[in-house]
Homo-oligomer: A and B are copies of this chain.
Amino acid sequence: MPLVVQKFGGTSVADPERIREVADHVARTRRRGDAVVVVVSAMGKETDELIRLANEVSPQPPGREMDMLITAGERKATALLCMALHAVGIPADSFTGSQAGFITDSNHTNAKILELRPDRLRQALAEGRTPVVGGAQGVSEGNVTFLGRGGSDTTAVALAHALDAHSCELYTDVSGVFTADPRLVPAAQRMQSVSFEEMLEMTASGCPKPAMRSVEFARTWGVRLHVRSAFTWEPGTWVQEEDPSMEQAIVSAVVHDTSEAKVTVSGVPDRPGIAARLFRLLADRDVNVDMIVQNVSDHGVTDISFTLPREHLATGEATTAEWAAEVGATAVTTDAAIARVSLVGAGMKSNPGVAAQTFETLADNGINIEMISTSAIRISCIVRQGQVEQAVQALHAAFALG
């Protein structure tokens, strides 16, 4: 019997009524002839609520206890969905990550999957039952582990691979992947299909769903993803190997991200290894540096700018200031009012004019570019946060994505 993995995010199972709708959808899939393995996240905003409780009892909750706490959310959702499935005549069994066979490392709150032994799920499927698995969970030496935010997508992709499913459906509160955020660009189109490579660049550039790690796994293992809505149940966007027979779109989508901040160091003595030491220090303190720009040296000194998630700004600034004092740089300044706008497209590789058209479009709209970074299939520009909406709209129109 063909097998599909269906993953439902928090908004899809936010309350009893939504859980009953999900059960109806799983039942329809079963009756159409597919076997189903379901993966669920915690209901609605429950994970945030649990983290809030943790912060109220402790300034620094131990990771082992955070994982014990947070995984209670998915556990509830699996049990409730199984009850709703039984109520519509679909025999179903809930499984924690441990019961489903997710063996992880012991890096609590952000564990990695080491091995997957889904024997109990295979057994349930062989009996014609529908397993419902808690997302983002595993076990390490008898202790509960959590795979991190967005880890339910990873759970779903890993199960689709291990159980040889024909596809992995990621149900969420949007109806697919769009050419731009439809809240900013009313003309944005849902993409029918996007390649793994483009999807990875898009998630890295601010597209919130699906979670980047799950796209990486899907690409590695060749698992076809179908990103779709648990509210309309309409077909959404396929994420898969690109079809080499088709001509590639030069630009597929405009993506933006307003969650970063910028740190600039001026008057840095231009000696070999001096920048390397800064980024080693930042890495050692778990600061995720994203874009880095270093100006051409002028009279033996240079400027270095980099972006980082805004929640890392305090640590990033302090670390940079220590290093600046050490090496004799002139000043450290920060800027939290930035945004990044990115163009992604697999056809960009063979079309050198895209960068020029991007810069012209922004200039024509009076938008100043503060930093630039590119990959083979992506161009990203840092602009003022107040101008990001205008930048996204202008680029979406300029590349005729509507």
Contact = CB atoms under 8 A, between A and B. Distances in A.
A101 to B, nearest CB: 11
Contact of A87 (B16, B58, B94): B58
A75 interface: yes
A50 interface: yes
A327 to B, nearest CB: 38
A72 interface: yes
B78 A19 contact: no
Interface string A154-184: 0000000000000000000000000000000
A65 interface: yes
Nearest to A134: B68
Contact of A69 (B59, B65, B79, B142): B79
B68 A75 contact: yes
A235 interface: no
A54 B68 contact: no
A82 interface: yes
A218 interface: no
Contacts of A72: 72-73, 75-76, 79
6 smallest CB-CB distances across A and B, nearest first, come from A16-B56, A69-B79, A58-B83, A68-B79, A58-B87, A57-B84
A20 to B, nearest CB: 6
Identify the interface centre among A16, A50, A83, A86: most chain B CB within 10 Å of its CB: A83
A390 to B, nearest CB: 44
A80 B93 contact: no
19 contacts: A19-B57, A23-B57, A53-B76, A53-B80, A57-B81, A60-B87, A61-B83, A61-B86, A62-B82, A62-B86, A64-B93, A65-B79, A65-B80, A65-B83, A65-B86, A68-B79, A69-B79, A69-B83, A72-B75
A120 interface: yes
A191 interface: no
Contacts of A20: 57
A99 interface: yes
Contacts of A57: 16, 19-20, 23, 80-81, 83-84, 87
A187 interface: no
A275 interface: no
A58 to B, nearest CB: 4
A66 interface: yes
A222 to B, nearest CB: 32
A23 B57 CA distance: 10
Contacts of A93: 64-65
